[in-house]
Amino acid sequence: MELRKIIGPGLAVLVGIGLVGGLVFSAFNKQQHDRIQADADSVVTVRGLVGSEKEAFYRDTRVVAAFKRLGLAVVVEKAGSREIVARPDLKSFDFGHPAGAPAALKLQQAVKANRVFTPFYTPMAVASWRALVPVLEANGLVKQRAGAYYIIDLTRLLQMIASGTRWRELKDNSVYDTGRAVLISSTDVRKSNSAAMYLALASYLLNDSNVVQSDEEIRKVLPIASGLFLKQGFQEASSAGPFEDYVSMGIGKAPLVMVYEAQFLEYQSKLPQLNADMVLLYPQPTVFTKHVLVPLTPKGVRVGEALVNDHELQRLAAEYGYRGADTAHFQSFLMQKKLFAPASLVDVIDPPSYETLEKMIEAIAVKFQ
């Protein structure tokens, strides 16, 4: 009886403690669930159409995390930069992020966007091979200055392409003794921005170093400009295609390839050891490809603001070889990866207007048929 008197109250106390503990634990779980749910509700899903060259950047887990910190879950689908504006499902996306100012301007006009954002850019360059550099130097096409290689006579190189010059016809060429025609490989000018920028650059030089503006000037440059693309045979729609040929098939398939500087730098930065055989040649003049984000909805505006203003996203963009307003990010990336690129490029042209560029592309497209 005495034992029951002692145990009874004790059990009651234990049951009470358990009940209170259960209530506290339940309340804690509810608070945690509510907090998780609130966090999930605060993250807004944003859909974007992006040029293929930026797909890896947007899918990088660090980029995803940086956007999430800002309350954004960015889901992207790749598309040809010049094809974005014609997408029949364009209204189902929140932003378009093509490569090239002309394509972005056309998209901006089509959707009547009040604001656009240019978080980063990259110059056009020609990927080649160190073994070819002495040949190109001997023929007065390339020269090294301050550690960088420049195509100092791009006009002459274009004329060689137009006249059908063969590699074995070049002076002092024993390293690439082939009957192949001298060409710069590119993407399909009808579909891809990188090829359109090649056309912009070539048309400028063929127009006596003036941006093409009139129908008369288009007729003047078209005979040679068309051949730059017609002579190539099959061309990829995406900038990733010819660059993959360059890195996987080597000099035999791709001695000269028009690329984005960012493609080259990003690829080299991810190798266990830099490929010393690969070299980048900077056309003189060159043209910048601006990666302009065009918002289609207010959610798209948030993505543009994040890319421009967020320090972490700017730093991560530099790791993909992109240049931004803050040059420190780009220079830090080069130093960490033991890469080299010119700090600045001053001989830079503007591309023609979208309408003029389209006229040239349409004229070339007819010749493909």
CB 186 within 8 A of CB 242: yes
What is the distance between the alpha carbons of residues 217 and 221, in angstroms, rounded to a whole number?
6
87-96 per-residue burial string, b: 16 or more CB within 10 A, e: under 16: beebeebbbb
What is the identity of the amino acid at 185? S
CATH code reported for the domain at 44-368? 3.40.190.290
Burial of 159 (0-12, 13-18, 19+ CB in 10 A): middle
Distance, CA of 140 to CA of 183 (rounded, Å): 16
Contact 268, 275 (CB under 8 A): yes
Q: Which helix (H) or strand (E) holds 48?
A: strand 44-50
Which SS3 state, helix, strand or coil, does residue 303 take? Answer: helix
Of 30-39, 82-91, 193-202, 218-227, the range with the lowest mean pLDDT is 30-39
| pLDDT for position 180 | 93
Any residues with CB less than 8 A from the CB of 338 and at least 6 apart, and which? 274
pLDDT band at 255 (very low <50, low <70, confident <90, very high): very high
Q: Is 342 helix (H, G, I), strand (E, B) or coil?
A: coil
Q: What is the rounded distance in angstroms from the CA atom of residue 278 to the CA atom of residue 265?
A: 11
| Residue pointed to by tokens 């309340």 | 27
Cβ(124)–Cβ(198) below 8 Å = yes
One-letter amino acid identity for 346?
V
Is 68 exposed, middle or buried, given 0-12, 13-18 or 19+ CB atoms closer than 10 A?
A: middle
43-100: per-residue pLDDT in tens? 999 999 998 889 999 999 999 999 999 999 999 999 888 888 889 999 999 999 999 9
* pLDDT tier, 237 (very low <50, low <70, confident <90, very high otherwise): low
Structure tokens at 210: 């003036």
Q: Residue 200, Cα to own-chain centre: how many angstroms?
A: 18
CA–CA gap between residue 102 and residue 126 (Å, rounded)? 21
Give the 3-state secondary structure of 87-130.
CCCHHHCCEEECCCHHHHHHHHHHHCCCCCEEEEEEEEEEEEEH
CA dihedral 115, 120, 236, 125 (to 10 degrees): 140
SS3 338: coil
| CA 135 centroid distance within chain | 30
- Residue 119: the pLDDT is 97
φ, ψ at 142 (rounded to 5°): -130, 145
Q: Which two tokens stand for residue 232?
A: 């190539």
Domain ranges of the chain: 1-36, 44-368
* Average pLDDT in the chain: 89
Which residues are paired to 74 by β-bridges?
Answer: 46
pLDDT in tens, 116-165: 999 999 999 999 999 999 999 999 999 999 999 999 999 999 999 999 99
Which pLDDT belongs to residue 38?
41
pLDDT of res. 12: 52
Which pTM was predicted?
Answer: 0.85
Cα gap 258→207, rounded to integer Å: 20
